[in-house]
Structure 1
Amino acid sequence: MQLNGSQIVIECLKEQGVDTVFGYPGGAILNIYDELYRHQDEIRHILTSHEQGASHAADGYARATGKVGVCMATSGPGATNLVTGIATAYMDSVPMVAITCNVGISLLGKDSFQEIDIAGVAMPITKYSFIVKDVKDLAPTLRRAFSIARSGRPGPVLVDIVKSATSDVTEYTKENPVIEESSNDRLSEENVQKAIELIQTAKKPMIFVGGGAVISGAQEELKEFAKKVDAPVTDSLMGKGAFDGTDERYVGMLGMHGTKTANLSLMESDLLIVVGSRFSDRVAANPKTFAQNAKIIQIDIDEAEINKNVAVDISLIGDVRKVLTVLNQRLDSLSHTDWMQEVAERKVEVPLNYNHDVLTGPYIIEKLDEITNGEAIIATEVGQHQMWAAQYYKYKHPRTLLTSGGLGTMGYGLGAAIGAKTAYPDKVVVNIAGDGCFRMNMNEIATATRSNIPVIELVFNNHVLGMVRQWQTLFYGERYSHTVLNDKVDFVKLAEAMGAKAYRITKKEEVEPILKEAIALGEPVVIDCIIDSDDKVFPMVAPGKNLDDAFDEQDLLNQK
């Protein structure tokens, strides 16, 4: 049938099973928005307050569902406003298709109004970046974009369409999407056998879980594997929920703000099995001494991650779930009773701890975990509150923590929460933010109220840039250069002005009733939680130090 380019865009979205897009219209993309209006019963469009909010919402939708998230923006500044969200998705391997429109073909390359080479701008932060100049190329390009976004190691793809291609007409034939199953073609049989031999002879094995286990949906295979190996399990920030955080084998997060149990145990282990993690500097602060007493087996779908940050002994290249399936089939059940007992005792000796006498971020998160029974979807911004959310909420399931791990994007969480709540309207969705992060994209509260998306925005308000201040306290001689936010902004009034219900918490006794009421309301809520400016995230490993150099507040006091 003969369709114009805008009709083809909508038909291709429907082909791919897209039911929700997030975006902001403008002149160059008006033809597509006009067609979107005609299909609003089939594809829901969430109008965000800023294009960055649209990209984060598409990201949150994708992380929560495992499907490809879609965002749209017009040319020029509309497109460039997507860039931070695209980079966020790229760093964390999130499948996303960003659709932008550019000036007409006759105006391209002439520095026309709102013209920019967004395909060139986005090239380093996408899996692929397209510009469509001919309507005949539009359907094949969109289909390829979705395929690239979700195949192998997922990631964002940009499709920029010149305006003339959205109005030109060509022949369109519907196609069913081809979902490519990942294969284990690159999995070496020799390396599988070597890995099994290492696992069978290890006395103190440990399993380290990263975001690849979440992406591959490997939670059941991972649970079976941990039981067969009889090993403690730790995770990265991105790996949260791939292994049940309430399981007795779980020892907490690894790395800069990991638990002492996880960090100390790793440095004692003789075999580290890495499941879908890339050894970022937040985990391996000192790559030369990381797990120095252990052999390392790394399972990853991306061969480029092998030996990139930490040298490993054996690599198993392939989809994590499929690789674990192979290992589970070959392995007999092992027993490491003494090692597991040693780790269990360490969990008791060096637990996570905070001041229970006053209102703190950890206390609020523990209460939230208790009230929601660990079943909520938690989004976060970036900073102290993010680490507390990783430490004190017990993630039982994958895709329940949405956080910017690689890029560390302040302003990410609220948009992501909106995306997740759009996908799962019956689930409790909470964004945990600091006051500095909330300021970045707080205008998305208006998006939540406009579209009646009942997210809960939990702001840990310490009137400072908390994590930066923590570093200034510990490493910069308490020189608080431009990190104090002690101004006159009232978040409760601000939230109410945007149409949300708002509360303020100043003491522990208020936490439980207000959280319960906020969850029961079923409307957008902002909760302003006043905590101390000098609360810190502990334990901590200083940059460049070994994991067994982790220190907490008591260690600092003992040094004085």
Structure 2
Amino acid sequence: MSENYTTSTAFLEALQEAGVSYIFANLGSDHPAMIEALALAKKQNKKFPEVITCPHEMVALTAASSYAQMTGEPQAVVVHVECGTQNLGGAIHNAAKGRIPVLIFAGASPYTQEGELLGSRNEFIHWLQDVHDQRGIVRGYTKYDNEIRTGSNVKQLVHRSLQIAKSNPKGPVYLVGPREVMEETTQKVNIDTNQWEPLASAALPAEDVKNIVADLKKAKKPLVITSYLGREREAVEELVKLCESLSIPVIESVPSYMNFPGDHSLHCGYQWWNSPDKIELLTDADVILVLDSDVPWIPMKHKPNGDCIIYHIDVDPLKQQMPLWYIKSKRSFYADCKIALRQINEMLDNESLDKTEIVTRRGKISNIHQQQVEEEQELEQINSEYITPEYLTSCIREIVDENTIILNEGISNYPIIYKHIRSNKPGSIISSGAGSLGWHGGAAIGVKLAYKDKTVISLTGDGSYMFSVPSTVHWMARKYNTPFLTVIYNNRGWKSPKLSTLGVHPDGVANEMSEFHVDFGPVTDYAKVAEAAGGAYAQTVKDPKDVKGALQNALQAIKEGRAAVLDVYLPAIHPEKDVDFGDKAVTLMK
């Protein structure tokens, strides 16, 4: 055994054994042993996961998370002690709430200070970065956390962590290792990775399958509501089969995946439930299947009638990370929707169905779908004076093909993007599934690393663009050859806080005075940020007639290996405060 076989070497070997492809790293004074182990592996032509240098930890974890979203395979993130852990920021929230498997490793300040062990404290920062409970910083967002105390069982800890991360409900895990431990010379341990597979997916009890089928057969106005069923692409096929068998309409509630083909005649819309109008499919339903959804409806706005039978099937039915959560369901099941739907479909195949009623219902639902499509098409018409988000999204839809993946972080334009992109292929559109902004940039890098031959288009608001650390994102995109297109839906401010305020105080003083503290004037040249940081193709678009040409220019740039950013001006949220200094900025400064 080489004397250079350390805990860090064993840690990296374990990641390789587990199928981790990338380590998204922001290294620091706690990682000399890991840096040395990586260098030695390169010298010896030993295969370890590829290191992706990430100048900001938020981007690192977001990239790792989106890679796992698209492939199902967790990646590793390495950050610097408690400072790097805190700099993960909202990305740890997104990974937790979005149920994304990822392994985060952070070093810890050395625990000796007089040279007792290799790695002992030798920099002033080692005293300042030693905190009482480093793991506690993220404990509320992780499924598992632990400290590596010896190299003798580090592989077991890594494989256990990943087993937990990949078992439903999935999520991030966090390990720490003090510098002396990671420098420790140790013996190699051989691991049978078959012993560390994630837990098998759960099915529905046979008797409950019968009850669900019986209630669906009797239903006059059945409905399916889902949000993230599409994370398993085969589940989409099973849902389509069920809905076509019984003519059941589908509503996607705050979706984070493509859950049901948007152009299917049984697709009846994407809901954020903020509309004051009655949603008749929900309020009139007599049987509802809630499939993988955190917020199937908002009770104070819309909810099913009191007699409705509700079945809830979810990989996370208890929502244990949500202190307040419940819906009025006849039964809730911890089950994999792909398996559960397959069970229901198999039983339906053996049941006699009232074809006349099903055909009649199909006609009614198809009419609802067609009416929605026509209303959306009307909104997509070009306006000669300004660019609408509906028109912009329809233009983006025209450049989308079977090889395109859309990332949606449109915030106030979330529903518009889903409605007007109308994705119909599983895996063709994703969102973070959570609430911390700035996801789209790092996510685009992760998706592009996972699918190098795909066209990746990231749609974002101007506020979330700033949150994404674009200087880091575009530096990484150039360094690691992951070109993608960013389209900024720029309304010169945070529209969502304004909408939230109006939702609670529609006739309040803030509305009276038009004072919401959310406008971004004077305007930043967002596209130029990406150009300066990563050599991206940059263009600002203000005229509706320039939108399609700009999209073609941007597509050509990414085909040539260069990221592109289109900063598209929509109507400002505060027209009276919409200040674009442009070339006047220099004069004003003088």
Structure 2: distance between partners of 1:516 and 1:216: 30
> 1:85-164 alignment to 2 at 5 Å?
85-106=91-112, 112-116=127-131, 117-164=133-180
Question: Is the CA contact 2:257–2:431 (under 8 Å) kept in the aligned structure 1?
Answer: no
Whether 2:548 is the aligned partner of 1:512: answer: yes
Question: Is the CA contact 1:60–1:420 (under 8 Å) kept in the aligned structure 2?
Answer: yes
Deviation at 1:227, TM superposition (A): 1.7
Structure 1: distance between partners of 2:214 and 2:464: 48
User: 1:221–1:38: structure 2 CA closer, same or farther, 3 Å change rule?
Assistant: farther
Q: Which has the larger radius of gyration?
A: 2
Corresponding residue of 1:486: 521
Corresponding residue of 1:10: 12
Question: Is the CA contact 1:433–1:458 (under 8 Å) kept in the aligned structure 2?
Answer: yes
Question: Is the CA contact 1:9–1:138 (under 8 Å) kept in the aligned structure 2?
Answer: yes
> 1:208-247 alignment to 2 at 5 Å?
208-215=225-232, 217-238=234-255, 240-247=257-264
> 1:417-456 alignment to 2 at 5 Å?
417-440=444-467, 441-443=469-471, 444-456=473-485
Corresponding residue of 1:254: 271
Counterpart secondary structure, 1:298: strand
- For residues 438-457 of structure 1, what are the alpha-carbon distances to aligned partners after superposition, in whole Å with 9 as ceiling and x for unaligned? 11222222221232220111
- For residues 477-497 of structure 1, what are the alpha-carbon distances to aligned partners after superposition, in whole Å with 9 as ceiling and x for unaligned? 423321010114222332221
> 1:55-70 alignment to 2 at 5 Å?
55-70=61-76
User: 1:139–1:253: structure 2 CA closer, same or farther, 3 Å change rule?
Assistant: same
Deviation at 1:270, TM superposition (A): 1.2
Match of 2:56 among 14, 38, 50: 50
Corresponding residue of 2:311: 297
Deviation at 1:12, TM superposition (A): 0.7
Deviation at 1:411, TM superposition (A): 0.9
- For residues 212-264 of structure 1, what are the alpha-carbon distances to aligned partners after superposition, in whole Å with 9 as ceiling and x for unaligned? 44247412222222222221112123353132222221112133258979x33
Question: Is the CA contact 1:206–1:266 (under 8 Å) kept in the aligned structure 2?
Answer: yes
Structure 2: distance between partners of 1:334 and 1:236: 29
Question: Is the CA contact 2:57–2:87 (under 8 Å) kept in the aligned structure 1?
Answer: yes
Corresponding residue of 2:35: 33
Structure 1: distance between partners of 2:171 and 2:164: 8
User: 1:248–1:43: structure 2 CA closer, same or farther, 3 Å change rule?
Assistant: same
Q: Percent identity?
A: 22
Q: Any unmatched runs of 5+ in structure 2?
A: 114-119, 576-590
Deviation at 1:364, TM superposition (A): 1.5
Deviation at 1:52, TM superposition (A): 0.9
User: 1:311–1:493: structure 2 CA closer, same or farther, 3 Å change rule?
Assistant: same
Structure 2: distance between partners of 1:183 and 1:296: 22
**TM-score for the superposition, normalised by structure 2:** 0.83
Structure 1: distance between partners of 2:410 and 2:333: 32
> Which amino acid letter does the alignment assign opposite residue 524 of structure 1?
A
- For residues 279-309 of structure 1, what are the alpha-carbon distances to aligned partners after superposition, in whole Å with 9 as ceiling and x for unaligned? 36xx324389435452111112334149942
Structure 2: distance between partners of 1:238 and 1:23: 30
> 1:456-495 alignment to 2 at 5 Å?
456-472=485-501, 475=506, 476=508, 477-478=510-511, 479-495=514-530
> Which amino acid letter does the alignment assign opposite residue 88 of structure 1?
N
- For residues 5-58 of structure 1, what are the alpha-carbon distances to aligned partners after superposition, in whole Å with 9 as ceiling and x for unaligned? 111111011101111121211110232133234456642222223111101111
Question: Is the CA contact 2:258–2:430 (under 8 Å) kept in the aligned structure 1?
Answer: no
Question: Is the CA contact 1:63–1:399 (under 8 Å) kept in the aligned structure 2?
Answer: no
Q: Any unmatched runs of 5+ in structure 1?
A: 537-560
Corresponding residue of 1:266: 282
Question: Is the CA contact 1:466–1:533 (under 8 Å) kept in the aligned structure 2?
Answer: no
Question: Is the CA contact 1:241–1:401 (under 8 Å) kept in the aligned structure 2?
Answer: yes
Whether 2:567 is the aligned partner of 1:528: answer: yes
Counterpart secondary structure, 1:28: coil
Deviation at 1:354, TM superposition (A): 3.2
Deviation at 1:76, TM superposition (A): 2.3
Structure 1: distance between partners of 2:301 and 2:542: 42
Question: Is the CA contact 2:267–2:369 (under 8 Å) kept in the aligned structure 1?
Answer: no
Corresponding residue of 1:311: 328
Whether 2:436 is the aligned partner of 1:409: answer: yes
Whether 2:196 is the aligned partner of 1:168: answer: no
Deviation at 1:118, TM superposition (A): 2.7
Of stretches 355-364 and 201-210 in structure 1, the one that deviates more from structure 2 is: 355-364
Of stretches 310-319 and 382-391 in structure 1, the one that deviates more from structure 2 is: 382-391
